[in-house]
Chain A
Amino acid sequence: MSAMPNFFYQFQFYLFGLIAIASAIVFVTRRSPVAAALWLVLTMFCLAALYVMLEAHFVGVIQVLVYAGAIMVVFLFVVMLLNLGQPSELSDLRGKWGRLVAGLLGLALIAQLWAVTGPEFRSSLLQPADHITTELRERGAVGAVAQPLFAEHLLAFELTSVLLLVAIVGAVVVGRRRGLR
């Protein structure tokens, strides 16, 4: 924490943070559950970007795969299974301003992507060395998380597998139709 992060890093951090807050507010205020779920997916993607910027690369990938990919799909599946989506409400934020903001945001993200691939900005994204970055460099992004997970927290890990099994059985039992034996 000695050196101040540079401007590019700070700009990215604030941009993703602002998108996360804005989409969370829109998420809470939407009436249609489908629109709300999609805004929540945007919040989760922004959080994944912030995880990566905070040197939690594996957690960022898992955030995209598990949260945005799996859990939100289950939510959308249930919304559509119960036919709760209100089709008239789906086209929200489609006015002139909505399109303008969406276009500007897309341009900003493309510019960021272009800047990250350039060599002059890539070195500026490297964080000042602390124990996390050295551990990541030694073990890799997955190994740095896996080492304490399978060494110190092995019992908790095994208990989690039992929890998942119980949850699956419970979901099947609760969700099946009455009368089906």
Chain B
Amino acid sequence: MIPEALALSAVLFTIGAVGVLTRRNAIVIFMCVELMLNAVNLTFVALSRLYGMTGQVFVIFVMTVAAAEAAVGLAIIIAIFRHGQTVDLKNINLLKG
């Protein structure tokens, strides 16, 4: 079932990437990134059946980093919302010349 798992992982990663590119709500884009991380985790788990437990150990690390990233990213989103009362990325263009 490893080829099927890898194909599923590729499909999920693509859906996440499409979401990042098409959505404009910052929180939804963040959740799409989480979906992409999950797809990569599925690849690690599937390949760990072939190459040993290191893949599963790496999944633990990826989840830890994802948790840290979610905490910092959501704090940034809250700060942006306090600044401009919006999380729509269309309206966040302070750096535009």
Binding site for B on A (CB under 8 A): 1, 5, 9-10, 13-14, 17, 20-21, 24-25, 27-28, 33, 36-37, 40, 43-44, 47, 50-51, 53-56, 58-59, 62-63, 66-67, 70-71, 74-75, 78-79, 81-82, 84, 130-132, 135, 144-145, 147-149, 152-153, 156, 160, 163-164, 166-168, 170-172, 174-175, 177-178
Contact = CB atoms under 8 A, between A and B. Distances in A.
**Most chain-A CB neighbours within 10 Å: which of B23, B27, B31, B59?**
B31
Given A21-B15, A75-B30, A163 B42 contact: no
A131 B52 contact: yes
Of the candidates A43, A153, A164, the one having the most CB atoms from chain B within 10 angstroms of its own CB is A43
Given A21-B11, A63-B41, A167-B69, 9 more contacts: A1-B2, A24-B35, A28-B16, A43-B12, A51-B41, A54-B46, A170-B71, A175-B78, A177-B82
Contacts of B38: 43-44, 47, 67
Contacts of A36: 28, 31
B88 to A, nearest CB: 10
B47 to A, nearest CB: 10
Nearest to A29: B19
Interface residues of B, number: 56
Contacts of A66: 63, 67
A148 B54 contact: yes
Contacts of A25: 15
Interface of B: 1-2, 4-5, 8, 11-12, 15-16, 18-19, 22-23, 25, 27-28, 30-32, 34-35, 38, 41-42, 45-46, 48-50, 52-54, 56-57, 59-61, 63-72, 74-79, 81-82, 87
Contact of A78 (B35, B63, B78): B78
Taking chain B's interface residues, is the majority helix, strand, or loop, or is none over half, making it mixed?
helix
A144 to B, nearest CB: 6
